[in-house]
A and B are shown apart, each in its own frame.
Chain A
Amino acid sequence: AQKITQTQPGMFVQEKEAVTLDCTYDTSDPSYGLFWYKQPSSGEMIFLIYQGSYDQQNATEGRYSLNFQKARKSANLVISASQLGDSAMYFCAMRPTGNQFYFGTGTSLTVIP
């Protein structure tokens, strides 16, 4: 079965601090992609970062990094130096072989000034 789990419905972080958003996945496909999206209150879905199942190194994109632990089937998003504009919903997604994407239920992040 293909499944993405985000166990943190809501998170708070102090401005300028780092925060980790958890994501675990389940798939039997050897090849898959893992994605993180940000959804601000406007509703748009913004792609943040991608990690391939065969990638040896953790992905990084500016202040975003993905802590990929394949054996544990986890793909946590780390946001460094949080900014007020980081307040949003964050979704983890997986694309196994095929055309479907599987999304978690999301984590609502609030950055406190």
Chain B
Amino acid sequence: SQTIHQWPATLVQPVGSPLSLECTVEGTSNPNLYWYRQAAGRGLQLLFYSVGIGQISSEVPQNLSASRPQDRQFILSSKKLLLSDSGFYLCAWSLGRTVGEKLFFGSGTQLSVL
């Protein structure tokens, strides 16, 4: 069966510090991978998605970046965090075959930038 791992679960970082959030998927190959951010009490904002190794689509221009060094690994990074980067970050995966393929989410990372 497929599983998705996302870590860390919580993170407190000072403004200006770097960020690295990692997500890995097991039990499937060539998944589409996604990073979402959710502000407190708000909806999901798509940050990045990837359909293959090295292929990254950015939805929101900001100081975050994403990389996919391996088929089932997706990394969200920042060189210098801003206060506005605080939020709940969710990694997700889906297969790209049909519109009926649903999203599977990781457990999320609560990031607080102080």
Could you tell me which A residues sit within 8 Å of B by CB distance? 31-33, 35, 37, 43-45, 47, 50, 52-53, 91, 93, 95-97, 99-101, 103-106, 108
A–B Cβ pairs within 8 angstroms, 9 of them: A37-B103, A43-B107, A43-B108, A50-B102, A52-B99, A52-B100, A91-B44, A97-B99, A99-B49
Are B44 and A99 closer than 8 Å at their CB atoms? Answer: no
Does B96 sit within 8 A of A, measured CB to CB?
yes
Q: In the complex, what distance in Å separates the CA atom of A37 from the CA atom of B36?
A: 14
Partner among A45, A95, A108 whose Cβ is within 8 Å of the Cβ of B90:
A45
- Which interface residue of A50, A91, A93, A100 has the most chain B CB atoms within 10 A? A100
Q: Say yes or no for B7: interface residue by CB 8 A criterion.
A: no
Contact A96-B108, Cβ < 8 Å, known A45-B90, A104-B43, A105-B43:
no
* B108 and chain A: residue at smallest CB distance: A43
> When chains A and B are docked, how far (Å) is the Cα of A52 from the Cα of B102?
11
Contact call B88/A53, Cβ cutoff below 8 A? no
Residue pairs across A and B with CB atoms within 8 Å: the count is 59
Nearest CB in chain A to that of B104: its residue? A47
Closest B residue to A44 using CB positions: B107
- Asked if B19 is an interface residue, CB under 8 A from chain A, the answer is no
Q: Are B42 and A101 in contact (CB under 8 A)?
A: no
Which of A33, A52, A99 meets B96, CB within 8 Å?
A99
The minimal Cβ–Cβ distance linking A109 to chain B, given in whole angstroms, is 14
Contact of A100 with B49 in the complex, beta carbons under 8 Å:
yes
